[in-house]
Structure 1
Amino acid sequence: MHGPVFQLLGLCQRAGKSVSGDFAVRANIAKKKVKLLIVAADTSERIKQEYLRLGKTHNLLTVEALTKEEIGLALGKSPRAAVAILDDNFARGISHSLERGEV
């Protein structure tokens, strides 16, 4: 669990360029600050569909990847269903790493 995605997520969290938790994620989506939305693959179907719908509605790059535990570990927090990346460069780096399978 020391791949580029985990390193970038941790760095992004320390830089203050990510938010997690339902209220914070939804608030930043509404403010149009989110560049990338990562939804945990093991999230319940209802919550997963809500986040995917939000991403589609707001034209966000939305990725279903990692587990709740992995997202929480990468951020230094408890398990998280979703994390919103607020910076273009972090979003690009994380999405490219996920596309290449470099978790």
Structure 2
Amino acid sequence: MFKRNYLNLIGLAYRARQCSAGEDTIIKDIRKRRVKLLILASDAGPQTKKKLTDKCKTYEVPYIIINEDKEALGNAIGKLQRVAIAILDEGFAAKIKSLFD
């Protein structure tokens, strides 16, 4: 049940246009300080993972590495595969974070 909850929330955030996906877009959003939470797939490549987590640390953006693969993360927003998804809304970010605490 827990797994479905946060994936459903990611899907809702995406439909509400409160998400960004794609490495370049996410990095731009982090630089603009729009990202409230970064969600990374467990099977993200080491370079991608390092690049995104380093950027998060620099700009003090919280991030979560989930126990799902790229496919599950992509399915949550109705796409094929996504390595990372950035949540842009404080409310969605707070709710998703609370599910992991």
In the superposition, the TM-score normalised over structure 2's length comes to 0.92
Aligned partner of 1:78 in structure 2 is: 80
Distance 1:28 1:6 in 2: 21
In structure 1, stretches of 5+ residues that fail to align are none
Which contiguous aligned blocks of 4+ residues in structure 1 show a shift greater than 6 angstroms?
Answer: none
Cα offsets for 1:8-57 (capped at 9, x unmatched)? 01100000000001121111111110000111110111111111101101
Aligned partner of 2:98 in structure 1 is: 96
State percent identity of aligned pairs: 34
Aligned partner of 1:21 in structure 2 is: 22
Q: How many residues align?
A: 99
Counterpart of 1:72 in structure 2: which amino acid? G
Distance 1:20 1:64 in 2: 15
Counterpart of 1:79 in structure 2: which amino acid? Q
Instruction: Give the 3-state SS of the residue equivalent to 2:10 in structure 1.
Output: helix
CA RMSD of aligned residues (A): 1.3
Instruction: Give the 3-state SS of the residue equivalent to 1:51 in structure 2.
Output: helix
Aligned partner of 1:52 in structure 2 is: 53
Aligned partner of 1:7 in structure 2 is: 8
Instruction: Give the 3-state SS of the residue equivalent to 2:42 in structure 1.
Output: coil
Instruction: Give the 3-state SS of the residue equivalent to 2:95 in structure 1.
Output: helix
In the superposition, the TM-score normalised over structure 1's length comes to 0.90
Distance 1:91 1:73 in 2: 19
Report the CA distance between 1:98 and its aligned residue.
2.5
Instruction: Give the 3-state SS of the residue equivalent to 2:63 in structure 1.
Output: strand
